[in-house]
Structure formats: C-alpha cells, structure tokens
C-alpha cells in the first residue's frame, strides 16, 4: 500500500526535486499557494511552495527501492526514523489536496478583516511592537493608523503587511 512521506529539498529546489522524482515514476505532491512578492516597487503574484523546502511523495516502503530518493537532484533527505521512512499520518495530504483550487493552488484562509477602531500591533519599522488603532486601508495596500506619540494622537501611514491584529 502506498503511503505519503516527506522529502526535505535543497533550498529553492522544490520544483526541481518534484520534477526528477516524477521522472523516476514516484507520485509527487508539491502544494503551492498564491504569494505576493514585492521587489523594486513592483508587486507580482507567484505560485510559491506552501511548505518551503518540503514536498510529499507516495510509495510502498516495503517493496519500493526508496533509497533512490536520497540521490535525486534537488533532494536533501527523506524524513525517516529508526525503522526507515516515516509516513505522514493518514488523511493529512488528502486534506491539503481538498483545499486545492482548479488552478492547482491552495487557497489560504483570509485574515479577519480589520475595522476602524481595532487595536493592532506594528510588526516592523521604527514603531515595531507599538500598539495603534486601525483607521483605514487604501487600494495601494497602505493603512492609516492612529497612534499616541508624545501624548498626542497622530495619524501615520505604512504598508499593510507591517501590522497584525492585537
């Protein structure tokens, strides 16, 4: 019976490892999700691995020459215990696959929307770890916050990615 196992890949080699494992006739599952990447004042949506440096592979450990996985291009190692490859608990991979959309990407749960007056924590920048009140969000993914600075209520703006619900 085929079980799912976890392969640890070399850095940024999930796709390469999946390709070479598939060529060896292993059943491979590399879950991906939509990720927004910001670079040089541009935003781009890419398909990124849901679990960076990990992918799933299915085989029968009792009859398969699974050690070939260890010498596959892009693979760092297979997750094992003293008895050999360690299977993923039944239903875990299937639950991930059930969340996959028609385009092959996993939909992540949306964060709770913020409303005016919600308390937030700033995660980065000069006000890191400070608390503020959420006021609004603009179409350019920037938020306006109300913060008490030196005893005065002050409005500040920053990228939405820098804040977290308190």
Question: Is the distance from CB of 33 to CB of 50 less than 8 angstroms?
Answer: yes
The neighbouring-strand residues paired with 55 are: 7
Domain locations in the chain?
3-106, 119-165
Q: Model-level pTM?
A: 0.68
CATH of domain 119-165: 2.30.30.30
φ, ψ (nearest 5 deg) of residue 141? 65, 35
Distance CA 132, CA 119 (A): 6
pLDDT number for residue 110: 61
Percent of the chain with pLDDT over 70: 98
Cβ-based burial of 130 (10 A; exposed 0-12, middle 13-18, buried ≥19): middle
Q: Does residue 148 register a pLDDT over 90?
A: no
φ, ψ (nearest 5 deg) of residue 111? -70, 155
Question: Is the distance from CB of 96 to CB of 106 less than 8 angstroms?
Answer: yes
pLDDT number for residue 54: 96
User: Does 3-106 carry CATH code 3.30.70.940?
Assistant: yes
Query: 83-119, pLDDT tens digit by residue?
Result: 889 999 999 999 999 999 999 998 776 667 888 999 9
Cβ-based burial of 122 (10 A; exposed 0-12, middle 13-18, buried ≥19): buried
């Amino acid at each position: 019976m085929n079980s799912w196992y976890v392969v640890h890949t070399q850095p940024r080699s999930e796709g390469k490892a999946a390709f070479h494992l598939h060529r060896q006739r292993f059943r491979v599952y590399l879950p991906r999700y939509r990720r927004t990447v910001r670079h040089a004042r541009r935003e781009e949506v890419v398909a990124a691995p849901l679990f960076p440096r990990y992918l799933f592979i299915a085989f029968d450990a009792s009859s398969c020459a699974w050690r070939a996985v260890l010498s596959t291009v892009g693979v760092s190692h297979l997750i094992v215990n003293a008895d050999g490859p360690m299977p993923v608990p039944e239903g875990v991979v299937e639950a991930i696959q059930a969340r996959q959309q028609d385009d092959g990407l996993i939909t992540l749960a949306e964060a709770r929307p913020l409303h005016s007056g919600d308390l937030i924590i700033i995660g980065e920048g000069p006000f890191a770890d400070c608390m503020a009140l959420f006021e609004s969000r603009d179409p350019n993914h920037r938020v306006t916050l109300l913060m008490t600075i030196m005893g005065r209520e002050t409005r500040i703006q920053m990228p939405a990615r820098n804040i977290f619900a308190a």
